[in-house]
Amino acid sequence: MNSWKKLDNDRVYYTHNSGFKVIKPSSNNFVTIPFVCPVCELFMKDTNDTLSYAEYECCTRCKITWAEGFNKERWHTGWRPSEEEIKQYKKRRGYQ
């Protein structure tokens, strides 16, 4: 039976009997990306959303709209837009 082997400082890998490799973080201290943005509740779409979530816990659009710029400090201390602001934001984007 194969076992996990060190790939680099942050990752380990396992080689399956059929030949494919499974690579995972070497520790369980990794971010789980949700299917939908917890702010606007729209689907996460791409790698940019994954990177935005890792830093801001939201999709790229929400990061640009609310989390960056003058709100950055407030965002990291827990501030989020109101339900009404999110509703208007989604309406402008063509949802609802």
Is the domain of 70 the same as that of 54? yes
Residue carrying structure tokens 């827990």: 78
pLDDT at 30: 65
Only one residue has tokens 């990177």, namely 51
Q: Are 65 and 93 in the same domain?
A: yes
Concatenate the DSSP letters of all residues of 32-64 into one string: PPPSB-TTT-PBP-SHHHHHHHHHHSS-HHHII
Two structure tokens written together for 24: 């995972």
Q: What is the pLDDT of residues 22-40, one digit of tens each?
A: 888 877 666 788 999 999 9
Q: Terminal CA-to-CA distance of the chain, rounded, Å?
A: 52
Domain containing residue 69 = 31-96
87 and 43 fall within a common domain:
yes
Kindly tell me if the per-residue pLDDT of 71 is higher than 90: no
Q: What is the pTM of this model?
A: 0.68
Specify whether 20 is located in the same domain as 46.
no
Question: For the residues 89-94, what does the mean pLDDT come to?
Answer: 91
22 and 37 housed in the same domain = no
